[in-house]
Amino acid sequence: MITDFFISFSTYVIIYIIIVSSFNISFGFTGLVNLGHMVFFGIGAYTSAILTLHGMPWYFALILAGLFTSLIGAAIAAITVRLKGDYFQIVTLGLVFIAIAISRNWISLTRGALGLPGIPPIIKDNFNYMLFTFLVCVICLAFFYWLTKSETGKIFQAIRDDETAASILGKNTYFYKVLSITISTFFAGIAGSLFVHFIKFVDPSIFDLDFFVIILTMLVAGGLASITGSIIGVVSLAITSEALRFVVVNPELIGPVRHMSLMLILILILIYRPRGILGKVNV
């Protein structure tokens, strides 16, 4: 029983690490506050679910979930990254509502609000699946560490600090911003695929904003522009969140108390430690 809980909890944490780190690439490293980041997690989940339900092997579905999600990410970025500051955030927030509307109403593809049940698992045994997600996570993190130290990663950070200065140094900032969103949404799609094959069900609630708020809090707590910070942010907040289960006696209150606590943590970090635990830039 305890082992099952630990395996399930660890699998969620591993998947959260991928999604939060990928969010850090666009938000923390490039300064693109993509409030619709979880939409791409949902697109990856739906893509992988639909493909495997139609008989495609999971390994193709996993890769295609990433590729298709990044294609959508690149197309949306190509249109939106020219928008500055708040306008970019408002448009990307709008993606959430578009995604909810499409997933609810494209019944022939998504079964609408009923969702898609019976999604085949990648590996039936949960412990082995946890090991598999861990392996994927290590590969993703290795790529993130390499990327952020590379010349491209430095250009992302230069754009975040001062886009005009980056452009007068001969950098095509539009291209690099689209590239940043493309990369971050690819890994969001991979995380979505891993998630959906674990819970074996997906419905439009995957696009809900409360999920995004959890991810955002984890990112901000760990700190922007630090992949290690993202790992620490996810692990510490996931443990805090689970610990509340033992503090709150009434089971009906666990959900709301969890959300309220995360919000409180987010507000306190923004006021007292805007760089989070290991962040390199202020929120």
Partner 1 sequence: MLSLKNVSKSFGGVKAVERCSFEVEECTITSLIGPNGAGKTTVFNITSGLTKPDSGTIKLLGKNITGMPAYKIAQSGISRTFQITKVFKNLTIRDNLLIAKRTNDTEMNRVLESVYLNKPLDTIASELSYGQQRLLELARALSMPHNLLLLDEPTAGVNPQIRQELKSILRNLRKEGKTILLIEHDMDFVMDISNTVIVLNEGRVLKTGKPKEIVKDKKVLEAYLGK
210 binds partner 1 (CB under 8 A): no
- What CA–CA distances, in Å, run from 235 to 16, 21, 94, 120, 272? 9, 12, 29, 28, 21
Question: Which of 104, 111, 171, 273 is the binder for partner 1 (CB under 8 A)?
Answer: 171
The correct pick among 6, 57, 154, 205 for binding partner 1 (CB under 8 A) is: 154
273 binds partner 1 (CB under 8 A): no
Q: Exposed, middle or buried: residue 274 (CB in 10 Å: 0-12, 13-18, 19+)?
A: middle
Residue with tokens 């901000």: 220
User: Which one of the spans 1-9, 55-63, 109-117, 151-159 is the region binding partner 1 (CB under 8 A)?
Assistant: 151-159
Stretch that binds partner 1, among 118-126, 132-140, 171-179, 253-261 (CB under 8 A): 171-179
Q: Which amino acid is at 186?
A: F
Q: How far is CA 131 from CA 49, 135, 207, 234, 254, in A?
A: 21, 6, 27, 18, 29
Is 30 a binding residue for partner 1 by CB under 8 A? The answer is: no
The residue within the footprint of partner 1, chosen from 162, 239, 268, 270 (CB under 8 A), is: 162
Site for partner 1 in 218-257 (CB under 8 A): 225
Least distance (Å) from partner 1 to the CB of residue 160?
8
Min. distance of Cβ 25 from partner 1 in angstroms? 15
Which phi and psi angles does 259 have, rounded to 5°? -65, -45
Q: Is 2 in the site for partner 1 (CB under 8 A)?
A: no
C-beta of 166 vs 266, nearer to partner 1: 166
Contact residues for 268 (Cβ-Cβ < 8 A; gap 6+):
none
Contacts of 84 (CB under 8 A, 6+ apart): none
Residues in binding contact with partner 1, number by CB under 8 A: 21
Among 4, 125, 161, 208, binds partner 1 (CB under 8 A): 161
Q: Which secondary-structure segment (H or E) carries 170?
A: none
What distance in Å separates the CA atoms of residue 265 and residue 259, rounded to the nearest whole number?
10
Binding site for partner 1 (CB under 8 A): 151, 154-155, 157-158, 160-162, 164-173, 225, 280-281
